[in-house]
């Protein structure tokens, strides 16, 4: 069937063009006949190899000797035709490597053909199917004997019939099934794979036929239910991905690191195989075919490697690389358990294929993808349920592959999206906690048991989670950014996109020129989705892509808001001169630049931040400015922007914001350079603001502790401006000699007292602070942990400017300690004297009344309740109650109140005498008026309570200040 | 206690500077009625001292018993209620507060507290209904809204309370308020007055002041009495028998600014500008107001500048200060000034020396 042959070269062309981008093949002829087959076969071969690999690994456990199969593979080719082929085809310089690949492929083919039929028969069969399409598809059902399936082409409505060769497939399936009792390595079971292969063959042929049909049919019957091209041509396998190779590989590597955790111990056996796939993919840019087969050969034995070494110097390089990669890989796989960062965060502008990559990579590694996107309910409860569902994989359903969670558009919804982020973070942190205690369990079941036992709260993350976002710097993602492995998507090269577009166009039978496609890709900034949609739209309208009118003709530029970083970059960086060349004159360029920048900035909004960023980074640029005129202009503009911003905020005239982008553009015109600017996030302004607030708070809270007659005259600004330096000078006099208190002279003592008074009146003290080593004394790093006595409200910080040494004298440590004690003492004294003063001033009389009340209440005689001091002497039982507990309490309070400077000298000597006398007095003469007694008691500073029969028979209340004095 | 606080005049009679103002105020109060007052003048000139003495004159010694309160107000502002917290000093007859601490919600504070004062009117000794005094500090930092709302309340509640407003510059107080108050300008004390005060303190402390020393202190003090007294005490602490050429400790931030100025004079380039920016940030972080930084920077630059350029530089400093007050991000404007200066200076250097 000729159509098939027409089609396949196209596909190849795509692939080849993409190779050509990276590697300049001067000459490459894809239309050779055998080539497509080889290509296809190689895929087939790879798959088969995978199967065999699997078989062998599974075999390794069984007693059945695996060598049988492997030996087949190893020995056969060596004496097969490839050896001779190698000898025959000696490559010319230019095409050496390519022909190498041919050789290799030939070998593969040979290998396939020469393999014993019981192993490879079905595959040969498939190949035959591919080669000889006539046997599979018929126009009429009557031509087929046996089973057949009717197939209708999706576009044309054509109907063909396919023969079904079930017997062989069944046979094979059973065989394979027997040999692979546990389909552990590949996510899909072998029969699913086979089914897919079959399906693919069918769709391919169908597509070919429909493609050729559509050319005729399309004109009269436009298709109604056409699939979107975006979906139709979505990459299905890893190699088809258009996105950046490096990113692809990293994602795959990350996913593979999960293997040990998800698939258990079989990771080692897969590693080489995956590595080969990886390497094959990684080398796509340079020697696709060659290294692909080369690395697959790696599995079989080093002998081949050596031969390849001899063959070409190129390959040596390659292999060295791959060996290094293998080392790295081994290192990585050796540490079991999930990767360090459990979350992968993919970010990039829309339409570059982030979602596709996540899906394809996950599928490639054998996961079943569970996607949560903005359309789903993303409250934290739902998310958590979903994640737990993902974690506990062994569901009863047919699809036993482990699941991989893809959270799409995680930056999208702020409120709900945050829920997702929180849940994930919680799980990650739970994981980190449990990591220490729990051994990394290789056994999956074990891990699951423990995790399920733990319950919902601290469910660790045991399946890969891929998050996808557009704006990496969305505020909701800030916490996630720290724990996740972040990959930023970069635009694929235009030529790659174009080649893919061309391929699709050719398939769809649309006539396009590569110039037009390039323009389109450029215009959409390599947004593949948008390109495809546009093309399909044009195709529907039966228009061709017009190079010059891409802007007007096509649906239009998408209104894309870029991240602030991109905007700053745009502002600071001149566009490549390439662009200027393309447009006709310079004014056109200016206009374009102006326009694009304007739309970019205005679609972003947030001018405040943009200006801050410009301000932060502008001085780091290297623009030519001998007399600083440019700088002056830039700063003038920034000032205008600030002024404008303030005005807008005050008057709420938001329409004035329209003028903000112009300022940025002016600055761009002034300072933009070609070289890439190094842009930092504008922190310093923010930092300054928060620090000022913080310091002001310290000051004002300090002022509140100062007595009002001083503090009312202080304000933060005037204090910092006029007082702080001098105050520090005053508080640390250099004349104060660090010596013990008692060794100071009278004058020094007076000075010290004054100093303490000052500190107390300003409620300052010294406090132990961890000294952060100043840049000046970095030399002695040992002191970094030493605590230092510093002023308690840290007022010394206010003169602590970076790179400035103040000439302040600092008191010696011993002196500071003395000061601390003195200040404390003074404070206590002050407080107590103040209380005392208030008591004596305000409530002396009242106290007396109270005292009298208490004593009188304690008496049994209620009727004699008389208040006041004057009545008390008439009370006969007063002397007895002095022994009573109640009255003694009141007595002590009284003693405090009436505390005089007279020390209680007498108390100790006449202690018992006194009580005896009182006691006898009270016992003997009840009706004696003890006027003198009370008077005496009031005179004395202290009263004692005698507790008979107790060890603490005598209690005497003592105040702290009595010790201090 | 520091001398600043120790020798602060407690009554209007004891005022050492602004005696005339003090006497006028005394007359005003003794006639039993007093209009709203607006005190304005630079910091360190004695506004607060005069106000406190005035209040003492009004209410006697009881005005000195103040309590510090950290109060919260629940303000009903239309649809929502706002919780505001502010520290006030209050005695039985007067309340002091700093409404600008409440930020942009200062207007509620002012209204709320005035209404509250109107509610419980004190009765004076003779049984007549008296009034309370509300002292508002830093009125120039009040928002425009608060000033506008103050306008009406001042009139409405004038029977119940008198306002004493205090600010540094009357230009930031709206015309309406200024016209409702008796404006009292407290200018910075002259150097002779400062010398007089210093000598008074010296006598009280029993210190011998060598001739010329007090004058030097006064000169260095920028005509701020507070600063003069503080540096006097600093000198006393550092070295007692005074010598007339004793070093007077400088303010640290001023030193730092002069470092910046010499940086600017040494090299004019965007790179140097960046270093200057970092230093200015340091100053700003330490709560030094940007206007003062700019002013001081200009002063330091002018000292080192050729006379030819002085006029132009002053012009630009004024220009950028104006912008700074209009705008919000002070650093932009200070830097713009520095850039402008660099540009002017560099082209001058190139023109003169080739």
Q: Is the pLDDT of residue A619 over 90?
A: no
Model pLDDT, residue A453: 38
Dist. CA A416–CA A423, nearest whole Å: 11
Residue A476's CB is within 10 A of a number of other CB atoms, namely: 21
B281 to chain A: which residues are within 8 Å by CB?
684, 688
Q: State the DSSP string of B48-69.
A: HHHHHHHHHHHHGGGGG--EEE
Is there a contact between A632 and B273 if contact means CB atoms under 8 Å apart?
Answer: no
The architecture that CATH gives domain A242-281+338-432+459-490 is: 3-Layer(aba) Sandwich (3.40)
Give the nearest partner residue to A695 out of B48, B66, B286, using CB atoms.
Answer: B286
pLDDT-based confidence at B296, cuts 50/70/90? very high
User: What residue in A sits closest to B233 (Cα-Cα)?
Assistant: A730
Closest partner residue to B288 (CB to CB) among A704, A713, A720 is A720
Smallest CA–CA separation between A632 and chain B, in Å? 5
Mean pLDDT of chain B: 85
How far apart CA A637 and CA A640 sit, in angstroms, is: 5
For residue A561, what pLDDT is reported? 58
Tell me the pLDDT band of A217, cut-offs 50, 70 and 90: very low
Query: What class has domain A561-577+589-679?
Result: mainly alpha
Give me the pLDDT at residue A77, please: 42
Domain range B1-183, its CATH number among 3.40.50.1220, 3.40.640.10, 3.40.50.300, 3.40.50.10710: 3.40.50.300
pLDDT for the residue A372: 74
Residues A85-113 have a mean pLDDT of 46
In percent, how much of chain A has pLDDT > 70?
A: 46
Is A733–B343 a contact, with Cβ atoms under 8 angstroms apart? no
Q: Is the dihedral of CA A34, A35, A36, A42 positive or negative?
A: positive
Predicted confidence at residue B343, as pLDDT, reads 92
- Average pLDDT of the residues in A116-127: 46
- Range of A332-336, A630-634, A729-733 with top mean pLDDT: A630-634
Q: What is the pLDDT of residue A26?
A: 44
| Number of residues assigned to chain B | 354
Chain A nearest-CA distance from B203, in A, is: 18
Q: pLDDT tens for residues B261-286?
A: 999 999 888 889 999 999 999 888 88
A758 with B256: Cβ contact below 8 A = no
pLDDT category, A169, cuts 50, 70, 90? Answer: low
For chains A and B, count residue pairs whose Cβ atoms are closer than 8 Å: 207
Provide the mean pLDDT of chain A. Answer: 64
Direct distance between the N- and C-terminal alpha carbons of chain A, in angstroms, rounded to an integer: 116
Q: Does the beta carbon of B325 lie under 8 angstroms from any beta carbon of chain A?
A: no
For chain A, say whether B129 makes contact (Cβ under 8 Å): no
B230 touches chain A (CB under 8 A): yes
**pLDDT level of residue A144 (50, 70, 90 thresholds):** low
Res. A107 pLDDT band, cuts 50 70 90:
very low
Comparing CB atoms, the residue among B227, B273, B327 nearest residue A631 is B273
- From the list A639, A704, A730, the residue facing B336 with the nearest CB is A639
Task: Taking residues B31-45, report their average pLDDT.
Answer: 84
Res A278: pLDDT = 53
Per-residue pLDDT at A431: 63
Q: Which residues contact A436 (CB under 8 A, 6 or more apart)?
A: none
Q: Which pLDDT tens digit goes with each residue over A407-446? A: 777 766 555 556 667 777 777 777 665 544 444 433 334 4
Q: Chain A 732-761, CB below 8 Å of chain B: which residues? A: 733-735, 757-758, 761
Backbone angles phi, psi at A239, to 5 degrees: -75, -20
User: Distance from CA of residue A40 to its chain's centroid?
Assistant: 41
* Structure confidence at residue A544 (pLDDT): 66
Question: Which among A684, A688, A729 is the nearest to B237, CB-wise?
Answer: A729
**Bigger pLDDT: B301 vs A719:** B301
Q: Above 90 in pLDDT, residue B320?
A: yes
Give the C-alpha separation, A671 to A631, whole Å. 8
pLDDT at B203 over 50: yes
CB contact under 8 A, B231 and A726: yes
Q: CB of B51 within 8 Å of any CB in chain A?
A: no
pLDDT at A213: 46
Mapping DSSP to helix (H, G, I), strand (E, B) and coil, where does residue A558 land? coil
Instruction: Classify A652 in phi/psi space as left (phi over 0), alpha (psi -120 to 50) or beta.
Output: left
pLDDT, position A965? 62
Check A723 against B230: CB less than 8 A apart.
yes
Query: What value does the mean pLDDT take over residues A752-781?
Result: 68
Q: What is the structure's pLDDT at B3?
A: 85
User: Nearest to residue A493, comparing CAs of A823, A245, A207?
Assistant: A245
Contact between B48 and B55 (Cβ < 8 Å): no
Task: Supply the pLDDT for residue A141.
Answer: 64
* Statement: residue B10 has pLDDT above 60: yes
Closest residue by Cα to residue B181 from B142, B214, B135, B141: B135
Is the CB of A709 less than 8 angstroms away from the CB of B66? yes
Portion 325-364 of A in contact with B at CB < 8 A: none
Interface check for A635 against chain B (CB to CB < 8 A): the answer is yes
φ, ψ dihedrals at A950, nearest 5°:
-110, 155
Spatial neighbors of B135 by CB under 8 A, at least 6 apart, are: B51, B55, B94, B95, B96, B97, B163, B164, B166
Distance CA B212, CA B217 (A): 9
**Element housing A790 (H / E):** strand A787-791
CB contacts of A718 in chain B (<8 Å) are 43-44, 226
Residue A48 pLDDT level (bands cut at 50, 70, 90): low
Residue A461 has pLDDT above 60, yes or no: yes
Question: Long-range contacts of range B174-178, CB-CB < 8 Å, 24 or more positions apart?
Answer: B174/B144, B174/B147, B174/B148, B176/B147, B176/B148, B176/B151, B177/B38, B177/B139, B177/B147, B177/B150, B177/B151, B178/B38
Inspect the interface and report whether the beta carbons of B43 and A709 lie closer than 8 Å: no
Residue B51 reports pLDDT greater than 50: yes
pLDDT bracket for residue B127 (50, 70, 90): low
pLDDT value of residue A105: 46
- When mean pLDDT is compared across A129-133, A511-515, B288-292, the lowest value belongs to A129-133
- CB of A629 within 8 Å of any CB in chain B? yes
Distance from CA of A641 to the nearest CA of B (A): 9
Residue A334: which pLDDT band, with cuts at 50, 70 and 90? very low
Q: Which residue has the higher pLDDT, A75 or A226?
A: A226
Whether residue B138 lies within 8 A of chain A, CB to CB, comes out as yes
Is residue A782 classed exposed, middle or buried when 0-12, 13-18 and 19+ CB atoms within 10 A define those classes?
Answer: exposed
What are the extents of the domains in chain B?
1-183, 189-236, 251-351
How much is the pLDDT for B297?
93
- pLDDT tens figures, A187-204: 667 777 888 888 888 777
Mean pLDDT across A123-138: 51
pLDDT value at A925 more than 70: no
Please check whether residue A693 touches B, CB under 8 A: no
**Per-residue model confidence (pLDDT) at position A540:** 78
- Predicted confidence at residue B301, as pLDDT, reads 92
* pLDDT value at residue B32: 67
Residue B298 is predicted with a pLDDT of 94
Instruction: Kindly report the backbone phi and psi dihedral angles of residue A428, in degrees, each rounded to the nearest multiple of 5, phi listed first.
Output: -65, -45
- Does residue B220 sit at the A interface (CB-CB below 8 Å)? no
Are A287 and A262 a contacting pair, CB within 8 Å? no
Q: What's the pLDDT score for residue A640? A: 92
Q: Which CATH class is domain A491-558?
A: mainly alpha
pLDDT digits (tens, 9 = 90+) for A731-761: 887 777 777 777 777 888 888 888 888 888 8
Put simply, the answer to whether B323 touches A688 (Cβ < 8 Å) is no
Of B5, B287, B333, which is closest to A692 when you measure between CB atoms? B287
Q: What angle do helix axes B191-205 and B225-238 make, rounded to 10 degrees? A: 40
Judging contacts by C-beta atoms under 8 Å, the chain A residues touching residue B169 are none
Q: What is the CATH number of domain B251-351?
A: 1.20.272.10
Contact B44 A631 (CB under 8 A): no
Give the residue on A whose Cα is nearest the Cα of B225.
A722
Q: Which among A15-19, A385-389, A454-458 has the top mean pLDDT?
A: A385-389
The answer, yes or no, to whether ipTM is higher than 0.85 is: yes
Centre a 10 Å sphere on the Cβ of residue A310 and count the other Cβ atoms it contains. 10
Beta strands in A54-147 (DSSP E): 137-138
* Per-window interface: A 560-619 vs B, CB < 8 A: 612, 615, 618-619
Closest approach of A572 to chain B, Cα-based (Å): 15
- Residues B110 and B147 sit within 8 Å (Cβ to Cβ): no
Residue A341, H or E segment: none
**Minimal Cβ distance to B237: which of A615, A712, A730:** A730
| pTM of this structure | 0.58
- Which candidate in A651, A730, A754, A774 is best for mutational testing of the B interface (most B CBs within 10 A)? A730
Check A730 against B230: CB less than 8 A apart: yes
Q: Give me the pLDDT at residue A786, please.
A: 61
Concatenate the DSSP letters of all residues of A614-669 into one string: HHHHHTTS----TTSHHHHHHHHHHHHHHHHHHHHHHHT-GGGGGGHHHHHHHHHH
pLDDT digits over A565-587, tens only? 878 888 888 766 544 444 455 55
pLDDT digits (tens, 9 = 90+) for B18-36: 888 888 888 888 876 788 8
Most confident segment among A378-387, A508-517, B263-272: B263-272
Residue A712 and residue B226: Cβ atoms within 8 Å? no
Range among A19-28, A152-161, A216-225, A711-720 with highest mean pLDDT value: A711-720
Whether the CB of B91 is below 8 Å from some CB of chain A: the reply is no
Burial A734-749 (b: 16+ CB within 10 A, else e): eebeeeeeeebeeeee
pLDDT(A399) > 90: no
Contact A12, A30 (CB under 8 A): yes
Over residues A527-556, the mean pLDDT reads 68
Strand partners of residue A673: A573
How far is CA A941 from its chain centroid? 72
């Amino acid at each position: 069937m000729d159509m098939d042959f027409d089609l396949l070269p196209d596909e190849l062309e795509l692939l080849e063009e993409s190779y050509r981008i990276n590697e300049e093949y001067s000459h490459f002829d894809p239309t050779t006949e055998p080539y497509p087959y080889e290509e296809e076969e190689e895929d087939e071969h790879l798959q088969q190899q995978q199967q065999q690999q699997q078989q062998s690994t599974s075999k390794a456990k069984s007693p059945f000797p695996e060598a049988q199969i492997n030996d087949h593979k190893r020995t056969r080719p060596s004496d097969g035709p490839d050896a001779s082929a190698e000898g025959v085809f000696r490559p010319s310089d230019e095409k050496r490597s390519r022909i190498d690949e041919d050789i290799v492929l030939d070998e593969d083919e040979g290998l396939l053909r020469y393999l014993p039929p019981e192993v490879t028969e079905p595959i040969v069969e498939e190949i035959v199917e591919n080669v000889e399409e006539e046997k599979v598809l018929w126009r009429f059902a009557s031509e087929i004997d046996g089973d057949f399936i009717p197939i209708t082409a999706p576009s044309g409505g054509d109907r063909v019939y396919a023969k079904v060769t079930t017997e062989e497939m069944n046979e094979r399936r059973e065989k394979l099934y027997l040999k692979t009792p546990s389909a552990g390595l590949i996510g899909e079971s072998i029969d699913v794979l086979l089914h897919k292969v079959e399906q693919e063959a069918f769709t391919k042929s169908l597509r070919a036929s429909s493609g050729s049909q559509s050319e005729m049919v399309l004109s009269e019957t436009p298709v109604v239910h056409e699939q979107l091209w975006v979906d139709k041509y979505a990459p299905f396998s890893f190699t088809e991905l258009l996105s950046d190779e490096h990113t692809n590989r990293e994602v795959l590597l990350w996913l593979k690191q999960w293997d040990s955790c998800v698939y258990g111990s079989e990771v080692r056996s897969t590693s080489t195989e995956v590595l080969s796939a990886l390497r094959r993919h990684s080398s796509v840019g340079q020697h696709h075919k060659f290294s692909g087969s080369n690395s697959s050969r790696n599995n079989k034995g080093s002998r081949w490697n050596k031969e390849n070494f001899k063959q070409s110097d190129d390959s040596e390089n390659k292999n060295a690389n791959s060996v290094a990669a293998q080392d790295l890989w081994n290192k990585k796989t050796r540490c079991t358990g999930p990767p360090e960062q459990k979350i992968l965060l993919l970010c990039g502008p829309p339409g570059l294929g982030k979602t596709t990559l996540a899906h394809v990579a996950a599928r490639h590694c054998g996961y079943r993808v569970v996607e949560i996107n903005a359309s789903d309910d993303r409250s934290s409860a739902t998310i958590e349920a979903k994640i737990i569902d993902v974690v506990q994989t062994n569901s009863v359903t047919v699809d036993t592959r482990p699941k991989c969670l893809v959270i799409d558009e995680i930056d999208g919804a702020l409120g709900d999206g945050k829920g997702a982020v929180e849940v994930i973070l919680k799980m990650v942190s739970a994981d980190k906690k449990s990591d220490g205690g729990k051994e990394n369990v290789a056994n999956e079941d074990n891990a699951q048991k423990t995790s399920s036992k733990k319950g919902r709260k601290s469910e660790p993350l045991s399946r890969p989670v891929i998050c996808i976002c557009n704006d990496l710097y969305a505020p909701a993602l800030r916490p996630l950014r720290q724990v996740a492995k972040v990959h930023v998507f970069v635009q694929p090269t235009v030529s790659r996109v174009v080649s893919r577009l061309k391929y699709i166009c050719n398939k769809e039978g649309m006539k396009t020129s590569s110039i037009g496609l390039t323009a389109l890709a450029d215009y959409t900034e390599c947004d593949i989705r948008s390109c495809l949609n546009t093309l399909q739209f044009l195709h529907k309208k039966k228009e061709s892509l017009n190079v010059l009118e891409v802007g007007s003709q096509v649906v239009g530029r998408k209104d894309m808001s870029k991240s602030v970083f991109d905007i700053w970059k745009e502002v600071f960086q001149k566009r490549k001169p390439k662009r200027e060349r393309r447009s006709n004159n310079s004014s056109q360029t200016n206009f374009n630049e102006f326009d694009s920048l304007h739309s970019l900035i205005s679609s972003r909004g947030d001018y405040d931040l943009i200006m801050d960023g410009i301000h932060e980074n502008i001085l780091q640029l290297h623009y030519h400015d001998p007399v600083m005129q440019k700088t002056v202009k830039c700063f003038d503009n920034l000032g205008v922007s600030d002024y404008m911003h303030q005005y807008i905020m005050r008057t709420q005239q938001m329409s004035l914001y329209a003028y903000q982008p112009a300022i940025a553009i002016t600055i761009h015109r002034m300072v933009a350079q070609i070289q890439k600017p190094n842009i930092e996030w504008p922190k310093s302004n923010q930092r300054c603001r928060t620090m000022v607030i913080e310091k002001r708070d310290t000051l004002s809270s300090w002022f509140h502790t100062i007595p009002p007659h001083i503090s009312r005259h202080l304000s933060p600004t005037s204090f910092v401006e006029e007082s702080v330096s001098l105050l520090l000078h005053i508080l640390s006099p250099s004349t104060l000699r660090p010596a013990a208190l008692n060794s100071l002279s009278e004058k020094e003592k007076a000075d010290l007292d004054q100093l303490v008074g000052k500190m107390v009146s300003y409620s300052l003290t010294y406090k132990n602070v961890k000294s952060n080593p100043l840049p000046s004394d970095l030399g002695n790093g040992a002191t970094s942990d030493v605590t230092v006595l510093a002023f308690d409200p840290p007022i010394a910080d206010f003169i602590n400017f970076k790179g400035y040494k103040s000439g302040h004298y600092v008191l010696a440590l011993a002196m500071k300690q003395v000061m601390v004690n003195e200040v404390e003492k003074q404070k206590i004294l002050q407080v107590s004297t103040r209380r005392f003063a208030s008591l004596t001033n305000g409530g002396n009389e009242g106290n007396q009344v109270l005292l009298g009340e208490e004593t009188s209440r304690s008496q049994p005689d209620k009727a004699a309740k008389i208040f006041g001091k004057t009545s008390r002497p008439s009370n006969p039982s007063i002397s007895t109650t002095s022994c009573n507990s109640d009255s003694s309490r009141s007595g002590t309070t009284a003693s405090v109140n009436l505390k005089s400077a007279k020390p209680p000298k007498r108390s100790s000597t006449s202690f018992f005498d006194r009580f005896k006398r009182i006691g006898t007095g009270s016992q003997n003469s009840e009706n004696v008026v003890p006027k003198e007694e009370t008077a005496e008691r009031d005179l004395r500073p202290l009263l004692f309570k005698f507790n008979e029969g107790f060890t603490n028979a005598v209690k005497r209340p003592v105040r702290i200040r009595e010790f201090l004095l | 206690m520091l001398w600043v606080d120790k020798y602060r005049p407690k009554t209007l009679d004891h005022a050492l500077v602004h005696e005339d103002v003090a006497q006028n105020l005394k007359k005003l109060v003794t006639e039993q009625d007093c209009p709203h007052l607006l005190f304005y003048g630079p910091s360190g000139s004695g506004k607060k001292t005069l106000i406190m003495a005035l209040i003492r004159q009004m209410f006697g010694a009881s005005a000195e018993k103040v309590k510090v309160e950290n109060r919260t107000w629940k303000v009903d502002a239309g649809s929502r209620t706002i919780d505001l917290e502010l520290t006030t000093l209050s005695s039985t007859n007067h309340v002091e507060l700093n409404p600008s601490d409440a930020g942009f919600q200062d207007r509620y504070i002012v209204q709320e507290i005035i209404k509250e004062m109107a509610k419980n009117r004190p009765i004076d000794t003779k049984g007549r209904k008296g009034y309370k005094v509300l002292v508002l500090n830093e009125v120039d930092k009040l928002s425009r809204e608060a000033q506008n709302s103050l306008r009406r309340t001042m009139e409405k509640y004038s029977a119940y309370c008198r306002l004493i407003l205090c600010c540094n510059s009357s230009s930031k107080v709206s015309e309406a308020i200024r016209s409702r108050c008796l404006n009292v300008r407290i200018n910075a004390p002259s150097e002779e007055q400062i010398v007089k005060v210093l000598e008074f303190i010296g006598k009280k402390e029993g210190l011998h002041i060598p001739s010329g020393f007090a004058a030097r202190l006064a000169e260095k003090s920028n005509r701020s009495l507070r600063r003069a007294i503080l540096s006097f005490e600093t000198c006393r602490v550092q070295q007692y028998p005074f010598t007339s050429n004793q070093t007077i400790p400088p303010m640290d931030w001023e030193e730092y600014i002069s470092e910046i100025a010499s940086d600017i004079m040494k090299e004019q380039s965007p790179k140097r500008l960046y270093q200057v920016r970092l230093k200015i940030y340091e100053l700003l972080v330490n709560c030094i107001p940007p206007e003062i930084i700019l002013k001081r920077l200009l002063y330091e630059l002018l000292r080192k500048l050729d006379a030819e350029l002085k006029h132009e530089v002053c012009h630009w400093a004024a220009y950028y200060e104006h912008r700074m007050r209009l705008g919000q991000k002070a650093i932009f404007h200070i830097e713009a000034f520095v850039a402008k200066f660099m540009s002017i200076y560099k082209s001058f250097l190139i023109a003169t020396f080739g």
